[in-house]
């Protein structure tokens, strides 16, 4: 038991230690959180990561805002209503989506967005690719949580003369709430660290860009990727610092989600 | 308030499987009717047809007639949701809503059906909890979670929740089987009190309980596993327990069964 625990802990601590020791010092500098990399070359020190942090947050949240309703409603359909052929087909499609490699999702949206429609590569296209990756995670985790809600609770509500849809909204979803949030966060953490679709649809740029519909939007993963082959020390430091920032960001989101889940969870 | 139930020639199915066959019986308003019989003979199944809960199970369907006073429950223009508002149900295992407080649990039926107004809800909650003999035990902690009560209290909370929507009929499926003798007694007392306002049907495996609380007893049996359950005999509880008309009833009650 303890052996397994240590075995799991070693790589985790190792990663954290490496990232903190190599990039931690940059995060202590306030310009990391306020400046972009505009006009800063690989051999120069300084600049910050705010452009990439903003990009990652904007894209992550947009993806979540699109994926959560789709995913949760699909899960509700599958668990509460789905019978017969259509439900089987939907479930099968979710299975397939789960298995789609992220680079394929990126290429698919590229083919659609750029090749077919002739649009420019923008942040929103990245979000669409990420939605493809996040929806199946949300569907599957929400499904599990809805299945955990005892049937007796549904029956108790029906027996009070409550219609089915209201039972789902007012009894089933609140009971499964904290579990659903956890699933959403897992999905979000996955897409925020995703890199392949970003390389195809949203190459790195050095300055702040907050418009999802015009221009390239820099993100932490693409920032990391950009300089990872550099040998100059300032750039290398920034790669580690960006990695640490990404880890912290996801950690923070998880904590926030936990608080939300705690507030709305089953009372004991 | 209370209504009469008239069942005629009722067959109940799970898909192709006929679980209950040919039930004909009458339940008088303001009386307690007990269903007894061996496990698997279809007591719960039949009970759940009385408020159309049976059909929430995939494949569940019914043939025959159930009349509530002069309303045909299975007429094509009847909304099952409305039926369940008229015919309430208490389940075997206490099932308060885990996300809701004691107060919210009792108010749930009204709130979810669109009733608003704190004053009205306060009134109903107090009245229902009183009706379920729970008010004195919980009046100081109405905001606490319903799931934090003891099993017996939870079951009374569920009864309060059921009577809060002012049904005409109350169905209870082994409401005491998960409870200790003291809580059981409390619920039995409660049933005797509720009888003055509601038509009550209770399923029980406890002969003494049937004898104690019911006016009328119905004995169900099944010929063999896989065969449909049937109503063997229904009569005054006195008669069923002292002078049953059918040998199988006597055998079952005296424990000489099988
Ligand atoms: N959801 C279901 N799907 C299919 N068959 C079912 C279902 N529920 C019950 N049955 C079958 O219907 C028959 C009657 O079951 P029911 O639960 O009504 O018996 P019961 O008399 O209430 O038994 P107990 O005293 O153990 O509660 C049994 O043969 C049972 O296997
Ligand atoms: Mg039963």
- The CATH number given to whatever domain includes residue B230 is 3.40.50.300
Give residue-wise pLDDT tens across range B141-153: 999 999 999 999 9
Q: How far apart are CA A168 and CA A146, in angstroms?
A: 10
Position with higher pLDDT, A42 vs A221: A221
Residue A266 has pLDDT above 70, yes or no: no
On chain B, the residues whose CB falls within 8 A of the CB of A150 are: 95
In a domain, B195, yes or no: yes
B252 token code pair: 């079952």
B258: number of Cβ within 10 Å: 6
Q: From the alpha carbon of B47, which atom of ligand 1 is closest?
A: 18
Q: What is the mean pLDDT of residues A226-251?
A: 92
Q: What is the mean pLDDT of residues A193-199?
A: 90
pTM recorded for the entire structure: 0.88
Place of tokens 């047809």: B49
A118: number of Cβ within 10 Å: 7
For residue A119, the distance in angstroms to the closest alpha carbon of chain B comes to 47
In a domain, B217, yes or no: yes
Question: Residue of the nearest CA to atom 26 in ligand 1?
Answer: B39
Give residue-wise pLDDT tens across range A91-105: 999 999 999 999 999
Q: How far apart are CA B148 and CA A165, in angstroms?
A: 27
Task: Report the pLDDT value the prediction gives residue A138, as an integer from 0 to 100.
Answer: 96
Per the document, the length of chain B is 258
A163: number of Cβ within 10 Å: 17
In a domain, B258, yes or no: no
Q: What is the mean pLDDT of residues A109-122?
A: 94
CB A146 within 8 A of CB A76: yes
Q: What is the mean pLDDT of residues A247-262?
A: 87
Helix (H) or strand (E) holding A261: helix A233-263
In a domain, B139, yes or no: yes
**Residue B147: which residues within 8 A CB-CB, separation 6 or more?**
A266, A267, A268, B96, B98, B154
Task: Report the pLDDT value the prediction gives residue A254, as an integer from 0 to 100.
Answer: 86
A197 token code pair: 């679709």
- Kind of pairing between the strands at B60-68 and B5-14: antiparallel
- For B162, the closest chain A residue by CA position comes to A160
Task: Report the pLDDT value the prediction gives residue B56, as an integer from 0 to 100.
Answer: 92
Q: What sign does the CA torsion over B130, B134, B138, B140 have?
A: positive
A107 token code pair: 């290429």
Task: Report the pLDDT value the prediction gives residue A2, as an integer from 0 to 100.
Answer: 86
In a domain, B149, yes or no: yes
Q: How many domains does chain B have?
A: 1
Q: How far apart are CA A98 and CA A205, in angstroms?
A: 30
Q: What is the mean pLDDT of residues A204-218?
A: 89
Domain annotation for chain A: domains and CATH numbers: 53-263 (1.10.3720.10)
CB A238 within 8 A of CB A26: yes
Give the phi and the psi of residue B178 in degrees, each rounded to 5: -105, 15
pLDDT averaged per 10 residues in sequence order, chain B, 258 residues: 90 95 95 94 96 93 94 93 94 94 95 90 94 92 93 94 93 90 88 92 94 95 89 94 91 76
B216 token code pair: 């009328």
**Ligand 2 centroid – CA B203 distance (Å):** 7
Q: What is the mean pLDDT of chain B?
A: 92
Give residue-wise pLDDT tens across range A63-78: 999 999 999 999 999 9
> If phi over 0 gives left and psi between -120 and 50 gives alpha, with beta otherwise, what is residue B8?
beta
- Supply the range of the domain harboring residue B135: 5-253
For residue A264, name the pLDDT band (cuts at 50, 70, 90): low
In a domain, B106, yes or no: yes
Contact B91 A161 (CB under 8 A): no
Q: What sign does the CA torsion over A64, A38, A49, A133 have?
A: positive
Radius of gyration of chain A (CA): 21
Q: What is the mean pLDDT of chain A?
A: 91
Q: Which residues make beta-bridge pairs with B101?
A: B145
- For B112, the closest chain A residue by CA position comes to A162
């Amino acid at each position: 038991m303890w052996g397994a625990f240590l075995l799991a802990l070693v790589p985790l601590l190792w990663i954290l230690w490496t990232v903190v020791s190599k990039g931690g010092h940059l995060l202590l500098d306030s310009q990391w959180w306020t400046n972009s990399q505009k006009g800063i070359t690989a051999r120069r020190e300084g600049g910050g990561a705010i452009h990439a942090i903003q990009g990652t947050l904007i894209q992550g949240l947009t993806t979540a805002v699109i994926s959560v309703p789709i995913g949760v409603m699909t899960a509700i359909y599958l668990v509460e209503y789905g019978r017969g052929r259509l439900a089987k087909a939907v479930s099968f499609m979710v299975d397939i989506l789960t298995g789609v490699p992220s680079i394929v999702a990126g290429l698919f949206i590229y083919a659609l967005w750029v090749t077919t429609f002739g649009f420019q590569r923008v942040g929103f296209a990245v979000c669409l690719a990420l939605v493809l990756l996040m929806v199946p995670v949300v569907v599957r985790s929400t499904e599990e949580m809805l299945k955990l809600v005892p049937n007796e609770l549904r029956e108790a509500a029906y027996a009070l003369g409550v219609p089915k849809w209201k039972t789902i909204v007012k009894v089933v979803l609140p009971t499964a709430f904290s579990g659903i949030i956890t699933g959403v966060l897992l999905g979000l953490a996955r897409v925020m660290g995703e890199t392949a679709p970003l390389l195809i649809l949203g190459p790195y740029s050095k300055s702040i860009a907050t418009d999802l519909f015009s221009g390239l939007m820099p993100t932490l993963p693409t920032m990391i990727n950009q300089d990872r082959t550099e040998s100059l020390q300032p750039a290398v430091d920034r790669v580690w610092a960006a990695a640490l920032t990404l880890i912290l960001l996801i950690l923070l989101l998880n904590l926030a989600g936990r608080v939300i889940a705690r507030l709305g969870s089953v009372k004991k | 308030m209370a209504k009469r139930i008239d069942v005629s020639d009722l067959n109940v199915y799970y898909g192709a499987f006929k679980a209950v066959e040919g039930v004909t019986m009458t339940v008088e308003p303001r009386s307690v009717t007990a269903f007894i019989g061996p496990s698997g003979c279809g007591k719960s199944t039949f009970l759940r047809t009385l408020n159309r809960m049976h059909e929430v199970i995939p494949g569940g369907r019914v043939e025959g007639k159930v009349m509530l006073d002069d309303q045909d429950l299975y007429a094509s223009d009847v909304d099952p949701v409305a039926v369940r508002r008229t015919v309430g149900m208490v389940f075997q295992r206490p099932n308060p809503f885990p996300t809701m407080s004691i107060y919210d649990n009792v108010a749930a039926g009204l709130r979810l059906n669109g009733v608003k107004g704190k004053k009205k809800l306060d009134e109903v909650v107090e009245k229902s909890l009183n009706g379920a003999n729970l008010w004195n035990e919980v009046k100081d902690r109405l905001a606490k979670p319903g799931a934090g009560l003891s099993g017996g209290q939870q079951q009374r909370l569920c009864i309060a929740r059921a009577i809060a929507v002012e049904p005409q009929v109350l169905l209870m499926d082994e409401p005491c089987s998960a409870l200790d003798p003291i809580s059981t007694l409390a619920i039995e007392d409660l049933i005797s009190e509720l009888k003055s306002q509601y038509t009550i049907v209770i399923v029980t495996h406890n002969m003494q309980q049937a004898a104690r609380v019911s006016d009328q007893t119905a004995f169900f049996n099944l010929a063999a596993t896989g065969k449909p359950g049937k109503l063997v005999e229904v009569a005054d509880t006195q008669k069923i327990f002292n002078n049953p008309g059918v040998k199988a009833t006597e055998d079952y009650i005296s424990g000489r069964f099988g």
